[in-house]
């Protein structure tokens, strides 16, 4: 007889837990409608919403692999493309914290292969896209079929003895600048860029599914999404391009589960100290867009910190509202639809709650 209350309590708890498990996430129906473009028998997306340090939505839509009918989910790894830049910038800031470099250091101190015309370019110029470097994409021969790597980019940039403008006088987005930053990380740390990020960023934060990846080299991403493009009305795999092997500007693969950990770290001193985080999220002049500033690997608009990433077959975005403690991440494996406006709309659902 004395056991009956405990049995009742246990049954009541199980009933409560089951009901809680069935409770839909906030705004789930509205969000599913907004994400419907990614649902069904199409290349998909994974969505993360973090509110006040808690993951309130983490789910996938559509397919990560169309050929094998593998559904996208929270564990799906996507090529981040230019969302990688915030991690490359963080690597530089970590070396600054170590006292191994200064942001005012001339780039040629670490990359002496560059011509004398680049004498005045500093590490900070690379971080803020104010270097004036010639775009390496414009230097790739039209007949190129093999993928280029970071060292190829360095050679191409070093072959130019001209700049678009004097360093620090204007802003022009530069993928090449971030490739060079990755090479600086290697030379200063004595570690391969992939190993440095693993040891200094991913491992300390428990981002166990995030890695720097080159096609056919090194460990492969688990639960990998493949990129697709809509060609002649049919989804066609377009996962790799000539520039898909460069790293500092776009070579990381990650998933939304790990992004929740990255987002959390940006509120604390666990990885970057307060001074480094302030540097990363402070607008730097000059800028090209009156509505959007740039920090170190982050775009800054109003009360948001964000960055998008686009490469062949992938479209991604992370948007943070740090004052309201809201973050939205959309990672997708298709060329169609820019996720930035969609992520803004989803984020606004949580700002007033």
pLDDT at 15 over 60: no
pLDDT at 7 over 50: no
Q: What is the pLDDT of residue 353?
A: 57
| pLDDT, mean of residues 99-126 | 98
| pLDDT, mean of residues 32-55 | 97
CA distance 114 to 333: 36
List Cβ neighbours of 126 (8 Å cut-off, separation of 6 or more): 107, 174, 177, 178, 180, 181, 184
Mean pLDDT of the chain: 92
CA distance 24 to 324: 22
| pLDDT, mean of residues 65-75 | 98
CA distance 77 to 257: 10
pLDDT at 56 over 50: yes
Domains of the chain: 28-351 (3.40.710.10)
pLDDT at 20 over 70: no
DSSP 229: E
| pLDDT, mean of residues 60-72 | 98
124-166 pLDDT tens trace: 999 999 999 999 999 998 899 899 899 999 999 999 999 999 9
Longest dimension (CA), the chain: 90
Q: What is the pLDDT of residue 254?
A: 98
Report residue 175 as tokens.
């993928």
pLDDT at 5 over 70: no
What values do phi and psi take at 316, rounded to 5?
A: -135, 160
Q: Give the lowest-confidence range in 16-20, 277-281, 307-311.
A: 16-20
213-272 pLDDT tens trace: 877 677 889 999 999 999 999 999 999 888 888 999 999 999 999 999 999 999 999 999
279-294 pLDDT tens trace: 999 999 998 888 999 9
Q: What is the pLDDT of residue 219?
A: 84
CA dist 242 → 143, 173, 189, 214, 238 (Å): 11, 19, 28, 12, 11
pLDDT at 60 over 80: yes
198-208 pLDDT tens trace: 999 999 999 99
Q: Which pLDDT band, with edges at 50, 70 and 90, does 19 fall under? A: very low
pLDDT at 22 over 90: no
Q: What is the pLDDT of residue 11?
A: 45
């Amino acid at each position: 007889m004395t056991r009956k209350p405990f049995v009742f309590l246990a049954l009541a708890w199980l009933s409560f837990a089951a009901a809680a498990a069935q409770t839909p996430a906030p705004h789930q129906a509205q969000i599913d409608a907004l994400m419907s473009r990614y649902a069904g028998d199409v290349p998909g997306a994974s969505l993360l919403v973090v509110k006040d340090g808690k993951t309130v939505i983490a789910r996938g839509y559509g397919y990560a692999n169309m050929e094998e009918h593998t559904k996208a989910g929270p564990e799906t790894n996507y090529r981040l493309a230019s969302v990688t830049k915030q991690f490359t910038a963080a690597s530089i800031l970590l070396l600054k914290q170590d006292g191994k470099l200064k942001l005012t250091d001339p780039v040629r101190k670490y990359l002496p292969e560059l011509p004398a015309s680049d004498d005045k370019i500093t590490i900070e110029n690379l971080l803020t896209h104010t270097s004036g470097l010639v775009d390496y994409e414009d230097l790739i021969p039209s007949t190129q079929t093999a993928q280029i790597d970071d060292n190829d980019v360095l050679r191409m940039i070093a072959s130019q003895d001209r700049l678009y403008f004097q360093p620090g006088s204007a802003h022009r987005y530069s993928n090449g600048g971030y490739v060079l930053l990755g090479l600086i990380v290697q030379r200063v740390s004595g570690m391969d860029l992939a190993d440095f990020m693993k040891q200094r960023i991913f491992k300390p934060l428990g981002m166990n599914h995030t890695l720097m990846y080159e096609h056919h080299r090194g460990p492969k991403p688990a639960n990998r999404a493949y990129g697709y493009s809509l060609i002649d009305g049919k989804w066609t795999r377009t996962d790799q391009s000539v520039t898909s092997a460069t790293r500092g500007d776009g070579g990381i693969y990650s998933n939304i589960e790990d992004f929740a950990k990255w987002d959390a770290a940006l509120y604390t001193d666990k990885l970057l100290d307060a001074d480094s985080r302030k540097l990363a999220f402070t607008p730097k002049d000059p800028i090209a867009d009156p509505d959007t500033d740039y920090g170190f690997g982050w775009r800054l608009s109003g009360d948001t910190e964000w960055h998008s990433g686009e490469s062949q077959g992938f479209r991604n975005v992370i948007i943070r509202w740090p004052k309201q403690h809201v973050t939205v991440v959309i990672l997708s494996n298709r060329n169609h639809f820019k996720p930035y406006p969609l992520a803004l709309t989803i984020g606004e659902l949580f700002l007033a709650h």
